[in-house]
A and B are shown apart, each in its own frame.
Chain A
C-alpha cells in the first residue's frame, strides 16, 4: 500500500490559477468578445435576403452568430489552452489539483447562459410577431403542392400558373395546401418556409424587396421526385406584374373561347393537367425543368423507342411514364394520368404534342 501512495501522490502539484492561467483567461475573453462582434457584424453566412421578413431574420441570425462565436471561442480557447498548458510531463506520475467544485463559479455558469437564452428567446419572439403581422393591402395567392410540382392560383384574377409572380413591395399572403403527401414551400432567398399538408391550409406572409428570379424548393421529403420539385418566384415591379397578369388572363380567355381550335385546346390541357410544371414547352409558355423539354417532340417521337410510332410513344409516355425513361432523367412522373384524363382529353393532348415540330 505504501508504494501505491508514493506512486499516486508523487510529482509537483499543478498550479490552479497562476498568472499564466489568468492571462490566458483574459486573452480568451477579449478574443471572444472581439470575434463575436466582428462575426456578428459581418455575418458571412446569411446575407442579401430578398424579402422584408428575410432581412429581419438575417439581422436576428447575425446576433445569434455573434453570441455563438463568442461562446465557441471561450470553450475551444479554454480547451486548447488546457491541452497545451496542462499536458503531463513525461514520467510525471503525479495527480492534478483535487478541485471538487466552486459554488460561485457554478452559479455563474448556470445563470449567465440562462440569461443569454432568455434574451435570445424574447428577441426571437419580437421578430416572429413582426414577420407574421398582416398588412392591409395584401394579395392572396393559393399554393398547392403535389408530387412533384407547385401550382399557384390567384383568386383576384382567377388565373392558375406553374411559376410564382409577385409584385415588388406588396405583401403577399400565401395560403398553402397539398393535393397529396406533405410538402414544404421554401424560397431560400426570402427565408420563408411553410409545410403544405392535405386537408389543411397553412399561411405565410412575404413582402419581396428585391426584383429577381428566385428558386422555389420543396423542403419536406415527398417521394421519389422530391429533389426536383422546384419552381421559381419572379419578383417584378407592379406595372410589369400587371402586364403579366393581363397576359395570363388573355391566354385563358382565348383558350376558353376557342376550345374548338385543337391547338388552343391542347395548350389549355397541357397547363390544366400540370404538364407545364415539369416539361418546358415554348408553345404553351411552360418553363418546367423536372422532365425532358417537349419542344419539337413531334419530330423526335417516332425515333425514340424502336417499333413505336410517334403517336404510340407519346401516348404511352403519358399513361405509363415508366415504360421508357429518357436518359439522364428520373422516373418521377405520376403514373395516374390514364385514370385522371378522359379519353377525349388524352387524344387531344397527344394530337397537340404531335404537332410540336
Chain B
C-alpha cells in the first residue's frame, strides 16, 4: 500500500504502528479513537474512586471520614468527571473509531481538527484534576450561583477546564456532521446508514446548538468570579435564575448527548447477536432526530421548584412527558428486534439486554419527574440521584460496555475472554441495582441529595447502596485484566468474528492504516440477517496485532 509510505513522522503522525504513535498528535481516526477511549476510561476510574468515597462516607450516618466541604468537592468532581471526561468522550472515542469504518470512509473529514479535538481534552482533564487538588469546586456539577461565586479558587479552574472540554466537543461535532454527510461510500444512501451514524448526527446537532450556550454561561461565571461582574447576584442587578436557564438549556440536551450514541450502539449490537434485521429502522432513525429537537424544549423541568414563572411550568411539563414517546418507540423496536431471533448471549449482548431493562426504569422515573406536582416533592432528592444513574449508568455505561465488547476484536485483532466478560457483567449488574434502586425509596421518604450525613432512619437503605457500590468497583477489575491480557494472549479475531454485517467487518482486525484500499460497494443497510448472506471476507488476518493490517 503506497499510501502508507507518506504518513507523518515525529510529533505529527498518521496510523498506529507502535506505542509511541498513540502519545503524540496523530491524525488517524483509529488512533484518536483509542486515545479518547483510554483517556476516558482513566477518568472513569478516577470518577469511580470518588463515588466510592461518597458511598464510604454515607455507609453510616454521622460519619467523620470527610468534612462537609470535602464532601461537596468530591461529589462535584465525581459528577463533572463522569459526565464530561468519561461518558461524553468515551462515546466520541468509540464513534471516532467505528463510524468512518461503518461509512466506508478512509478517515474523518478533518483529520487534523479531529486530533485538535482530542488534544483539547488533555488540558481540560489536567485543569479538572488541578481544581480537585486545589479544592474549591464545591457547588455540584450544576454550579449554581451565588454559591459557585463564593467558593474558593478551584471553582475557576473547574470552569476553565469545562471551556477546553466544550470546545473539544464542538469541533468534534462539526467533524462528525461533515463526515457523515460527505464521506459515505458509494451506494450508502441516508437510509442505508448504520443507526449509530444517525445517532451521531443527532448528537452532533445537539452539541453544535447547545454547547456554545454552556461556554457562554461559563464565561459569565468566570467574569463574575475574576472581575466582579454581577450577572448572577441580585444585589448587583443580576439574577441567579439566569444561570439556571443557560445551564439547563445546554445540560438537559446534554443528557441526550450522553444517551443517543448509546441508543445507536444498542441498535448495532442487537441485530448481530439476535441474528435479525433491526426492527423499524426508519422510526428509530426518526426518533433520534425527534429527541434532538424536543431535547431543547424541556430544560425548565429542572427548575420546577425554583422561582420561575409558575404557569410556564405547564408547557415544560407537557414537552418533558412527550419526549418519552420517541424513547419508548426505540425500546419497543429493540424488543421486536430480539423477538423470534436466535439470541447469542455474548457479553456484548448481555450488556445490551441489560441496557433495555435498566434504561426503562430510568425512563419511567423520568416521567414521574416530569409531572410538576410529583417533582415538587422529589426534586433535589435521592429519587433524582437514582433516576439519573439508571439513565447514565444503566443506560449510557451499559451501552458503552456493549459496544466495547462488540468492537474490541476490531480495535485490537484479539478476542476478549467471555467468562471474564460475564463475570464483569454480572458484578456490574448486581452492584448497580443494589446501589441505585434503594435510592428511589430514600428520596421519596425524605433524603435530599448532596448531603454528607443523614438521620439514622435512612441507614439501612444507604448501607445497601454502599455495598452495591463496592461490588461495582470490584466489577471493573475483571474487565481491566481481560482488556489488557487479551491484547497479548486473546484468541486471534480475524476480520469478522461475529459474522456481522457492516463495512467495518469487511476489513482486517485491526483495519489497515488507510482503511479501504478500494472503495467498498454498498448493497443494502447493515442489518440483512436472514435476507442475504453475510459477505465473505477474503482478507487474511493481520500477522501482528499491534502492527496493523497492511
Residues of A within 8 A of B (CB): 1, 4-5, 7-9, 11, 14-17, 21, 45-46, 54, 56-57, 60-61, 64, 68, 71-72, 75-76, 78-79, 82-83, 86-89, 92, 94-102, 105-106, 109-110, 113-114, 117-118, 120-121, 124-125, 127-128, 131-132, 180-182, 184, 186, 188-189, 191-195, 197-202, 215, 217-228, 328, 330-332
Docked Cα-Cα span, A233 to B360, in Å, equals 37
Closest 6 CB pairs of A and B: A199-B234, A188-B446, A96-B341, A224-B68, A227-B451, A98-B530
From 311 to 329 in chain B, residues with beta carbon under 8 angstroms from any chain A beta carbon are: 313-314, 317-318, 321-322, 324-325, 328-329
CB distance from A17 to the nearest CB of B (A): 8
Q: Is B310 an interface residue (CB 8 A)?
A: yes
- Residues in A whose Cβ lies below 8 Å from that of B277: 98-100
Docked Cα-Cα span, A180 to B147, in Å, equals 8
Known: A192-B376, A194-B305. A226 touches B451 (CB 8 A): yes
Contact A193 B234 (CB under 8 A): no
- Indicate which residue in A11, A106, A127, A220 contacts B342 across the interface (CB closer than 8 Å): A11
Known: A60-B374, A181-B147, A220-B144. A75 touches B357 (CB 8 A): yes
CB distance from B246 to the nearest CB of A (A): 15
Q: Is B444 an interface residue (CB 8 A)?
A: yes
Contact B531 A193 (CB under 8 A): no
Known: A96-B276, A117-B322, A193-B376. A86 touches B338 (CB 8 A): yes
A sample of 5 cross-chain residue pairs with beta-carbon separation below 8 angstroms, ordered by A number, consists of A83-B353, A98-B276, A124-B372, A193-B379, A199-B235
Q: Which residue of B lies closest to A61 (CB)?
A: B374
Q: Is B361 an interface residue (CB 8 A)?
A: yes
Interface centre among A5, A98, A332 (most CB of B within 10 A): A98
- Residues in B whose Cβ lies below 8 Å from that of A189: 446
Docked Cα-Cα span, A202 to B241, in Å, equals 12
Give the number of chain B interface residues (Cβ < 8 Å). Answer: 97
- Indicate which residue in A46, A121, A180, A181 contacts B444 across the interface (CB closer than 8 Å): A46
CB distance from B275 to the nearest CB of A (A): 4
- Indicate which residue in B233, B317, B325, B372 contacts A114 across the interface (CB closer than 8 Å): B325
- Residues in A whose Cβ lies below 8 Å from that of B310: 132
Docked Cα-Cα span, A5 to B532, in Å, equals 8
Contact A117 B324 (CB under 8 A): yes
Contact A228 B453 (CB under 8 A): yes
Docked Cα-Cα span, A125 to B530, in Å, equals 49
- Residues in B whose Cβ lies below 8 Å from that of A180: 146
**B513-550 contact mask (Cβ, 8 Å, vs A): 1 or 0:** 00000000000000011110111100000000000000
Docked Cα-Cα span, A350 to B147, in Å, equals 31
Known: A197-B306, A198-B233, A219-B381. A15 touches B451 (CB 8 A): no
- Residues in A whose Cβ lies below 8 Å from that of B377: 46, 54, 57, 61, 188, 191-193
- Residues in B whose Cβ lies below 8 Å from that of A106: 280, 283, 329, 333
Q: Is B52 an interface residue (CB 8 A)?
A: no
- Residues in B whose Cβ lies below 8 Å from that of A83: 338, 343, 345, 353
Contact A193 B305 (CB under 8 A): yes
17 other contacts beyond A82-B341, A97-B341, A199-B240, with CB at 8 A cut-off?
A16-B340, A60-B374, A82-B339, A87-B345, A88-B344, A94-B342, A97-B530, A105-B336, A117-B324, A121-B318, A184-B448, A186-B380, A198-B146, A202-B307, A221-B449, A223-B150, A330-B452
Contact B240 A79 (CB under 8 A): no
Docked Cα-Cα span, A226 to B282, in Å, equals 48
Q: Is B455 an interface residue (CB 8 A)?
A: yes
- Indicate which residue in A46, A105, A184, A330 contacts B68 across the interface (CB closer than 8 Å): A330
Interface centre among A120, A128, A331 (most CB of B within 10 A): A128
Contact B445 A188 (CB under 8 A): yes
Q: Is B454 an interface residue (CB 8 A)?
A: yes
- Residues in B whose Cβ lies below 8 Å from that of A86: 274, 338-343
Interface centre among A8, A45, A331 (most CB of B within 10 A): A8
